[in-house]
Amino acid sequence: MDHDHIVILGSHYHIPYGLGDDACEEAYTTFLKPFVSTLYKYPKIQATLHYSGVLLYWLEKTHPEFFMLLEDLVSRKQVELLGGGFYEPMMPLIPLSDKIGQIEMLTTYLRKQFGKRPQGCRLSALAWEPQMVGTLSTCGMGYTFLEEGQFILAGAGPGTIEPCITEDQGKIITVFPLSTRFKDAFAQKKASQVLTDWLGEAGEGKKKLLCVFPEALFAEDPQESADMRFHRFFEDLSQFESQLEFSSPGKVFKGLRGLQKIYFPPSQEAGVPPVRQFLIDYPEANQLYAKMMFTHVLINQLRGDKSRKRIAREELWKAQGFDVFCPGAYGGVCRHAIRKAAYKALLGAEKISREQSSAVPSVLQFDFNLDGEGEYLFRNGHLNCYIQRTGASVFELDYLPKVWNYLDTFAPGHRRTAFADYLVSPAFTFQDAQGGAFPGPGPALPHRYCGGESFEPVSMDKEHEQVHFRLPVHPELPYGQIELEKRYQVRKDTLKVSYVLINRGTGPETGLFIPSVDLSFPGEGEAFIRLVSGPVPGGVPDKAAGYGVDREGLRISGTAEITLEDLKNEVCLTLKSDLDFEAWVLPVRTRCPVQGTFLELYQSTCIMPIRPFYLEPGDCLAVEFSLRLY
């Protein structure tokens, strides 16, 4: 039967890499299984499915019966599977070779599992840039999808939005418009009412196409089970089988002729920041982006070992998911587990790419953060220690034997680092720190946050693996007459930081000197962290003498050394000083949006060694700290 109107019904689902079995199982039980098993009962309704490679791989290993159902739906041409990037990457942000590699990886997987190569793809987060035309065409993709808003931005009128072609550098691809007006309507109204409304708009005459991925339909409803909701949905759709053709984009694509050409601008719906704006708004996302680009360069330098290069690239791709670069539905860059999985993959790729020379210590200056200024990179077989001029602080500390970045943390508004220093009033208390007074205690408690100021580089000694910084006086600031010198040295498994505070003013200065060290563990509580205070006989912590870090923090008096044990990674971290100090140990948590609600998520554990000072004009205080990982 030749229908006047066609509906392309799609479903998309993705679980961010790193969230693990529980998140995948919940998605499978709550959404995927009910939707696909119900669809199977309505053979006249075709659907288009896009599942990320992360999710498909998990389904293959965990629920082979679901794969068998998909295979049956594909073989009877009721379902078309879409391609895309295997790890659901944020395409505009990753290098061309990685774009192609990720698309071909999912294409190969679908062809091997289901016997059919995908004709088209769905881009992650529908993030578009004109250069994507050449990439998709090179990968054999005939079509993709963009939301109607993109068509309007490109100049199409609201009543004339239809499939079109777009071109770049002589390459062409077809673009289907995804309805933004109707995708949420399916969750708010009966499907029969939504289709009736659309048919009323379509009117008589020219054949019309509705392409919709009703993602809101997958929201949990405490009043109705998923099985009942999808049964009602497909039953409503089946009432229109005589009026509508439920088709696949591949079938429609083959019949399209005489399409209008449109040039789409980079994706940017009203009120939604451009893709790269996330790198500005979220320093942690920019940090992962910089690490990804740095690792990409390291991998490209591999010569003569194609197998190692391929394995390293596949590790790199795991860290390119769009969730890493935005606050997505599952918490995105705010989510501890998502960032940790990305860093673990990046460090794994880095280890593979520099395995032969990993034991050779080095220190170099390099614009790692892509901010126009050189950062200082210490690298050896045990540690990566990366230092920025802002605060002369450590922004990445990788323990390579466990492929773990202990400075991967998150805080709204500013990037937390290690050895970011404070000069504060003697009246500042542990209770003030517990209450979140850092980084600004306020006018009642004069303070200087040196961690936010730009230090001057003094020297870099490659032979002795040292970098020396100076923070000059700023008389207009509290404690602004104090000059701070800071020297870093990395040897094997130990980072040493030497400080000299000099009073350059005409009057005495008194206060607290507090280097703040944020360390990011797999989690908080007794299952993850154990603390040992004081010197450790023989350098080996006695686990029986340890205790957990309380949710409200710990205050330790009169010590020159404390050890934290990372119980999951089986790593000890010892902070030691040549002078006694009082230590404040506080957990850092943030409230993050996750699947429609706000969760308080652990981010890191902050250690603050407190050192009082009293300096007459010209006096100085010298103190050295070391942080050892073993």
Burial 82-106 (b: 16+ CB within 10 A, else e): bbbbbbbbbbbbbeeebbbbbbbbb
Whole-angstrom Cα Rg for the chain: 28
In this predicted structure, what is the pLDDT of residue 200? 86
- Which of the 8 DSSP states describes residue 269? -
Please write the tens of the pLDDT for every residue from 436-466.
Answer: 765 554 556 788 999 999 999 999 999 999 9
Q: Distances in Å between the alpha carbon of 84 and those of 18, 19, 62, 142, 150?
A: 19, 20, 22, 12, 19
The packing angle between helices 64-75 and 33-40, to 10°, is 40
In this predicted structure, what is the pLDDT of residue 543? 45
Please write the tens of the pLDDT for every residue from 40-67.
Answer: 999 999 999 999 999 999 999 999 999 9
Give the 3-state DSSP-derived string for 508-574, with helices as H, strands as E and coil as C.
Answer: CEEEEEEEEEEECCCCCCCCCEEEEECCCHHHCCCHHHCECCCCCCEEEEEEEEEEEEECCCCEEEE
596-616 average pLDDT score: 94
Please write the tens of the pLDDT for every residue from 383-421.
Answer: 999 999 999 999 999 999 999 999 999 988 778 999 999
Please write the tens of the pLDDT for every residue from 337-364.
Answer: 999 999 999 999 999 998 665 568 899 9
In this predicted structure, what is the pLDDT of residue 534? 60
Q: In the predicted model, is pLDDT for residue 539 greater than 80? A: no
What whole-number distance in Å separates Cα of residue 25 and Cα of residue 19?
11
| Coil, helix or strand at residue 242 | coil
CATH number attached to the domain at 359-629: 2.70.98.10
- Tell me whether strands 554-566 and 571-594 are parallel, antiparallel or unpaired: antiparallel
In this predicted structure, what is the pLDDT of residue 532? 81
470-492 average pLDDT score: 96
What whole-number distance in Å separates Cα of residue 525 and Cα of residue 567?
10
Burial 385-398 (b: 16+ CB within 10 A, else e): bbbbbbbbbbbbbb
Burial grade of 44 (CB within 10 A; 0-12, 13-18, 19 or more): exposed
What whole-number distance in Å separates Cα of residue 344 and Cα of residue 402?
9
Please write the tens of the pLDDT for every residue from 101-118.
Answer: 999 999 999 999 999 999
Q: Average model confidence (pLDDT) for the chain?
A: 91
In this predicted structure, what is the pLDDT of residue 413? 75
* Confidence category of residue 329, pLDDT binned at 50, 70, 90: confident
Give the whole-number percent of the chain exceeding pLDDT 90.
77
164-168 average pLDDT score: 97
Nearest CA-CA partner of 625 in 531, 499, 502: 499
- Residue 273: asked if its preceding bond is cis (omega within 30°), the reply is no
* Confidence category of residue 552, pLDDT binned at 50, 70, 90: confident
* Confidence category of residue 180, pLDDT binned at 50, 70, 90: confident
> Per DSSP, what are the bridge partners of residue 622?
500
Q: How many beta carbons lie within 10 A of that of residue 379, not counting itself?
A: 22
Structural domain boundaries in the chain? 5-255, 276-358, 359-629
* Confidence category of residue 536, pLDDT binned at 50, 70, 90: very low
Between residues 75 and 539, the one the model is more confident about: 75
Burial grade of 291 (CB within 10 A; 0-12, 13-18, 19 or more): buried
Counts for the chain of helices (H) and strands (E), in that order: 17, 25
Domain 5-255: which CATH class?
A: alpha beta
Nearest CA-CA partner of 54 in 324, 240, 260: 324
377-382 average pLDDT score: 95
Q: Which residue type occupies 257?
A: R
What whole-number distance in Å separates Cα of residue 423 and Cα of residue 426?
9
CB proximity list for 391: less than 8 A, separation 6 or greater: 417, 419, 420, 421, 450, 451, 452, 453, 455
Q: In the predicted model, is pLDDT for residue 327 greater than 70? A: yes
What whole-number distance in Å separates Cα of residue 615 and Cα of residue 482?
9
What whole-number distance in Å separates Cα of residue 281 and Cα of residue 1?
53
Q: Cα–chain-centroid distance for residue 597?
A: 19
- Which of the 8 DSSP states describes residue 361? -
Q: Which residue type occupies 17?
A: Y
Please write the tens of the pLDDT for every residue from 243-286.
Answer: 899 999 999 999 999 999 999 998 865 445 678 888 998 999 99
- Which of the 8 DSSP states describes residue 384? E
What whole-number distance in Å separates Cα of residue 387 and Cα of residue 393?
6
CB proximity list for 116: less than 8 A, separation 6 or greater: 74, 81, 110
- Which of the 8 DSSP states describes residue 267? P
